[in-house]
Amino acid sequence: MSYLTGIISALAAAKPSWFSGNGVEHVQAHAADRLPSETNRIIDSLDAVQPEVFGGNEIERLKVRAAARQLLARVETPYERAWGFCFEQPVVFAALQTCINLGLWKSWTAVGGEKSIDELVTFTTPTVDTNLLRRLFRLLAAFNVVEETAEDRFKPTPFSNSIGDESTKVRASLQAATNQYLAAGHNLPTYLAKISYKEPMEINTNNHSDSDPDGLNFFGRLQKSPACFEAFNGHMEAWTAWKTPWTKVYDTTKLLEGAKLDDGSPFVVDVGGSTGIDISHVLAKHPDLPSGSLILQDLPEVIAKVQVDEKIMAMVHDFFLPQPVKGSRAYFMHAVLHDWPDHNAKQMLVNTKDAMVKGYSKLFVYDIVLPPTGASISQATMDVEMMSLLSASERTQSAWTKLLADAGLQIVNFWPDPQQYEMVIEAEIA
């Protein structure tokens, strides 16, 4: 990976001082022939970074992504950074959502190809004013959402195509932000002042309910609005699919040793497992498991829509009630405990522990473990989003250790994913 190491070194080398106060050099990157050779060399190596160079290696791609974001933080002036956060991002998002509302992405992705602005207008319902769409597309082209090939002509990009391709759940993820995340984020500073800057801990009356038109908390809103429910579950699917499958982080083959499988005993119970991506990873890795030994649990409205292999049993279960599946070899919770403050999370853990058999059952929690320093953008964003939406949080290693100990469980090991985003926490009855 020496090529990639070279790229990261080039990214790390670019510092504001390097431009010697020449504002033009870092603004007019395309006027390469007028720039000094060092500038050209750096721009050339940045331009050479294409998705193909990673050969499908996600770890290397994520390293370069992080370095590129750090590069911008170094090179941008404080004013430019502020402008990006507060002036650019809101209108780019507004343009993306408007085109979702008009059905443009879906229609364009279905046929594909470069289109004129007039052809793009025909994809919209209701029909958008041509000049309105031109203005939105000018912005989207500047942000590389679409490619501008000539005046009033645009090509789709992998990103714009993915918004129009429902299977990617990118549209659902954007829509979930419009439905809930943006209003809550906008409200957070006011809400924190209102509660005198105490750390939010209330699950019913909280920042989300403060920003919701009917005063509902996050899950209450999902239950009331099918559109919010659909968007959030889509976002969950996209997020879970983006992560490393837990069966690649912890070797589940170890669970087969000593497992009772021939008497109809449960093998893995996925608690709050949503549409079943994680439990399906177990079946994919161990296709010979007996029918019914893999169990997916979630709320009734989620289970009603689940489509999993017939070997997986989908079951309605509220995790604040006693766990009805006793003595499973493993109980698994992915991105579930991070939705709840400690006192609620402890209740869920106690309910699980009470169903476990000491010395046989294991609990696996797959969640972010915040490092003492240097949390990534993805980890730290998730932590404050949890505060904003649910009065919940991501946890450090010591917070996990304490939470599990309070529920009568002890941690056997932390298994970090190769992306360095989450860890599988292996635990058993203390």
Q: Which is nearer to ligand SAM, 277 or 330 (CB)?
A: 277
**# residues near ligand SAM by CB under 6 A:** 17
Residue 146 as a binder of ligand SAM (CB under 6 A): the answer is no
Q: Which is nearer to ligand SAM, 201 or 299 (CB)?
A: 299
């476990």: which residue's tokens?
356
Answer for which of 320, 327, 418, 430 binds ligand SAM (CB under 6 A) is 320
Least Cβ distance, residue 430 to ligand SAM (angstroms) = 24
Residue 273 as a binder of ligand SAM (CB under 6 A): the answer is yes
Residue 299 as a binder of ligand SAM (CB under 6 A): the answer is yes
Least Cβ distance, residue 274 to ligand SAM (angstroms) = 4
30 is known as an active-site residue: no
Q: Which is nearer to ligand SAM, 302 or 424 (CB)?
A: 302
Distances (CA, A) of 390 to 161, 180, 202, 204: 32, 11, 8, 9
Q: Which is nearer to ligand SAM, 43 or 176 (CB)?
A: 176
Answer for which of 18, 19, 219, 421 binds ligand SAM (CB under 6 A) is 219
Residue 244 as a binder of ligand SAM (CB under 6 A): the answer is no
**Other CB atoms within 10 Å distance of the CB of residue 183:** 18
User: 20-58: buried (b, 16+ CB within 10 Å) or exposed (e) per residue?
Assistant: eeeeebbeeeeeeeebeeebeebbebeeebeeeebeeee
Instruction: Give the closest residue to 308 by CA, choosing from 318, 290, 294.
Output: 294
Q: Which one is catalytic: 26, 208, 317, 338?
A: 338
Least Cβ distance, residue 417 to ligand SAM (angstroms) = 13
Q: Which is nearer to ligand SAM, 25 or 278 (CB)?
A: 278
User: 3-state DSSP: the chain helix, strand, coil percent, rounded to 5?
Assistant: 55, 15, 35
Positions in 333-392 near ligand SAM (CB under 6 A): 334-336, 339
Answer for which of 25, 60, 298, 417 binds ligand SAM (CB under 6 A) is 298
Answer for which of 231, 236, 314, 363 binds ligand SAM (CB under 6 A) is 236
Q: At what angle do helices 182-194 and 377-390 cross, to 10 degrees?
A: 70
Instruction: Give the closest residue to 93 by CA, choosing from 187, 154, 175, 212.
Output: 175
Report the sign of the C-alpha dihedral through residues 225, 97, 388, 279, in that order: positive
DSSP 319: T
Least Cβ distance, residue 328 to ligand SAM (angstroms) = 16
Across the strands, what pairs with 365?
333, 425
Answer for which of 58, 114, 318, 354 binds ligand SAM (CB under 6 A) is 318
Helix (H) or strand (E) holding 369: strand 369-370
Taking the C-alpha atoms of residue 70 and residue 224, their distance in angstroms, rounded to an integer, is: 41
Residue 11 as a binder of ligand SAM (CB under 6 A): the answer is no
Least Cβ distance, residue 99 to ligand SAM (angstroms) = 27
Single-letter residue type at 347: Q
Q: Which is nearer to ligand SAM, 39 or 352 (CB)?
A: 352
How many helical (H) and strand (E) elements, i.e. helices and strands, does the chain have?
A: 22, 12
Residue 200 as a binder of ligand SAM (CB under 6 A): the answer is no
Taking the C-alpha atoms of residue 237 and residue 243, their distance in angstroms, rounded to an integer, is: 10
Residues designated as active site? 338
**Binding residues for ligand SAM, per CB under 6 A?**
219, 236, 240, 272-274, 277, 298-299, 302, 318-320, 334-336, 339
